[in-house]
Structures are given as structure tokens and as C-alpha cells.
């Protein structure tokens, strides 16, 4: 039997702001190779596509295209995004960052 609660990729906490994103996005709360949870005052509608430039500690900035897959206004406004376009070099940088951070949360 498949446990649907398991994630395809490990997630790590990331208290950082997107480098280039709409000003209303305030913080990336966690991130994985497949997507991120973003705390924001004004979540985008589900299905919206956004571009994020992320400054990962210890890595150069990466740019990702993402699709909003869920949003919530309560109790804390946030949205979940799935990465839909991540170049190989960016995927490698994100993978290295996640590997270094595993076990630190």
C-alpha cells in the first residue's frame, strides 16, 4: 500500500525572502526540489505561474518558474508552489543546498 503522506523530496526550512518576486511575498518557509511554501499577504490564485529568483545561502542565485498549487488566507496567508521550470544548473545548486541543510531542522 502506498503512503500518500510521504513526499517525493525531502523539505527543509528556509527563512529567506525571494530575491525577485512580487513585493507582497514575504518569506519562503520551506523548500524542496519540487516546490516551496511561501508566506505572503496576498496569495496568487491556484494555477497562476510566477517566477522566483532565490538566494540560497552558500549558492548563487537561482531562478525558477513555478505554478501555484494551493493557497490559504487563514490562519497565516500562504501559498504552495510547484517548480515547473528549473534548469539543470539551478537544480544542482538547489540539490546541494538541500543536502547540506538536511538534518539541521
Domains of the chain: 12-101 (2.40.10.220)
Tens of pLDDT, residues 66-95: 999 999 988 889 999 999 988 999 999 999
Cell numbers 490559504 correspond to 72
Tens of pLDDT, residues 19-42: 445 555 568 888 899 999 988 888
Is residue 98 scored above 70 in pLDDT? yes
Amino acid at each position: 500500500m502506498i503512503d500518500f503522506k510521504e513526499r517525493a523530496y525531502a523539505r527543509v526550512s528556509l527563512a529567506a525572502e525571494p530575491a525577485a518576486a512580487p513585493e507582497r511575498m514575504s518569506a519562503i518557509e520551506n523548500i524542496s526540489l519540487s516546490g516551496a511554501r511561501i508566506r505572503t499577504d496576498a496569495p496568487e490564485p491556484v494555477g497562476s505561474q510566477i517566477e522566483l529568483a532565490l538566494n540560497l545561502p552558500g549558492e548563487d542565485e537561482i531562478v525558477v518558474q513555478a505554478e501555484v498549487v494551493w493557497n490559504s488566507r487563514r490562519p497565516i496567508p500562504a501559498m504552495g508552489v510547484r517548480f515547473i521550470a528549473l534548469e539543470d544548473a539551478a537544480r544542482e545548486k538547489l540539490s546541494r543546498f538541500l543536502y547540506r541543510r538536511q538534518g539541521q531542522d
